[in-house]
Amino acid sequence: MIQKQSQRRGSFPQRAAITAAAWGIGLMAGAGVLAQTPQAYQVEQGEIRAALADAGDPVRGRAVVLSRESGNCFLCHAFPDADGAPPGNLGPEMSGVGARMNAGQLRLRVVDSARVNAQSIMPAYYRIEGLNRVAAAYRGKPLLSAQQVEDVVAYLAQLK
Amino acid sequence: MSLRRLSLGLFAALVAGTAVAQTAVRPAPLKSGIEFTGAEVRALQNDEFANPAMLWVLRGTALWTQPAGKDNRSCASCHGDATTGMKSVATHYPQIDKSSGSLINLEGRIQQCRERRQNASPLKYESEELLGLTAFVRMQSRGMPLAISIDGPARAYFERGRDFYYKRVGQMNLACAHCHQDNWGKKLGPEIISQGHGNPYPGYRLEWQTMGSLHRRFRSCLSGVRAEMLPQGAPEYLDLELYLAWRSGNLPVETPGVRR
């Protein structure tokens, strides 16, 4: 179907491809758990102590971290068990991060690292306010769902 | 809206809004993106028989002498042999167009010539024809240092381009500067982040498997941070193109470049 549309708009092959890709992502987000407005949370002394969803699953969390479609965390951070995903080095290495920080500190950093360091280049994975010119397919949606945040936190917490 | 949500929103707005006017700064030392690509890509770019972008340059070469429009004139009818007439011309773009007083890039100048001198229909921004002609003209400045002006009326465009460069955008909330000014040389997954110079464009990108304009390259980055994309030739992209050309200092034109 998409293929057919691209052909029909033959004079705009590139635009059609981009539109198709955007639709694909949009549909994925719509079908998944991303299209949820973030819930309120409380920051106390550099931590978000209360879980945002059900108890996190470290296996699912690892999948989010290594997924190109959701977390994409390995683009900036090196993980000890990344199975050969070529790590970036824009952010600190994650080996032993679970020994350096507790779950509340990890949660705040995943949710909104600007709350720790306003200059941080790390995207806020659970915030929709204060963003500029967000592409329509992603507008009003956080990068991760509350459950995905919990899963990532559970995964990071066991990197000791 | 609860008080908590309101205060969260205000905080986020404050963080996003603290962008003070940034100082324009060039990376030091200046490095063309070709230095970050690896030997294979360098070899492709430097070998005019292997460089895939040369296909578009050849197209541009043919178009240069091909009459077009109601007046049946070619580029060569006015400009003659491009190897002499167009030599170093591209190093001065983007520039202020004297007739309109506004900023124009090389693509825009070619379009203007078609409209006013050839009485021909405009070319689509990302069309093979405009890519070919632009690459052909820019290639007449290959190896020559960029030499643009940001004085006088260009200043306001330059400042807007600089502001764009430092503005956080998209769901990822990143500015151009976060990667290409503050963190060039570091690794984003398997890729080394370049300084983000426009000197190879129009150029062939292996990721695209085709030739593309600098403005298409802008769209790729903006898509990566999940920000709104503008159409090629948009005034904001022209501003950014001017800022980047200034930021590239005296780097040489590499068109037709090859990049990953």
When pLDDT is averaged across residues A62-90 and rounded to a whole number, the result is 91
**Closest by CA position to B93, among listed B80, B107, B83, B79:** B107
The verdict on A98 and A140 lying in the same domain is yes
Q: Is A129 on the interface with B (CB under 8 A)?
A: yes
Contact between chains at A131 and B171 (C-beta distance less than 8 A): yes
Contacts of B84 (CB under 8 A, 6+ apart): none
Identical fold at B21-47+146-259 and B54-139? Answer: yes
Residue type, B241: E
Q: What does the alpha-carbon distance between residue A62 and residue A15 come to, in Å, rounded to a whole number?
A: 34
Average pLDDT of chain B, as a whole number: 93
Would you say residue B14 has pLDDT above 90? no
Where do the structural domains in chain B lie, given as residue ranges? 21-47+146-259, 54-139
Write the Ramachandran bin of A85: left for phi over 0, alpha for psi from -120 to 50, otherwise beta. beta
Neighbours of B140 (CB within 10 A): 20
Per-residue pLDDT at A84: 80
Per-residue pLDDT at A24: 37
Would you say residue B136 has pLDDT above 50? yes
Strands (DSSP E) found in chain B: 95-96, 103-104, 187-188, 191-192, 203-205, 210-212, 257-259
Give the ipTM: 0.87
Contact between chains at A14 and B8 (C-beta distance less than 8 A): no
- If DSSP codes are grouped into helix, strand and coil, which group holds residue A134? strand
Contact between chains at A135 and B17 (C-beta distance less than 8 A): no
For residue A33, name the pLDDT band (cuts at 50, 70, 90): very low
How is residue B145 written in tokens?
A: 């240092």
Contacts of A158 (CB under 8 A, 6+ apart): A58, A98
Compute CA distances B237 → B104, B188, B242, whole Å.
Answer: 11, 24, 9
Q: Which DSSP letter does residue A31 get?
A: H
Q: Are strands B187-188 and B191-192 parallel, antiparallel or unpaired?
A: antiparallel
Per-residue pLDDT at A131: 97
For B54-139, which CATH class?
mainly alpha
| Contact assessment for residue A153 and residue A103, using Cβ atoms and an 8 Å cutoff | yes
Provide the domain count of chain A.
2
The verdict on A12 and A85 lying in the same domain is no
The verdict on A75 and A134 lying in the same domain is yes
Of the candidates A88, A121, A124, which has its C-beta nearest B187's C-beta? A88
Contact between chains at B182 and A121 (C-beta distance less than 8 A): yes
Q: Which site among B127, B173, B191, B221 would you substitute to test the A interface, given the most A Cβ atoms closer than 10 Å to its Cβ?
A: B173
CATH of the domain at A73: 1.10.760.10
Q: Is B145 on the interface with A (CB under 8 A)?
A: no
Q: How many CB pairs under 8 A join A and B?
A: 102
Q: Which site among B172, B176, B222 would you substitute to test the A interface, given the most A Cβ atoms closer than 10 Å to its Cβ?
A: B172
The verdict on A54 and A24 lying in the same domain is no
CATH fold group of domain B21-47+146-259: Cytochrome Bc1 Complex; Chain D, domain 2 (1.10.760)
The verdict on A3 and A47 lying in the same domain is no
The verdict on A44 and A121 lying in the same domain is yes
Domain that holds residue A22: 1-31
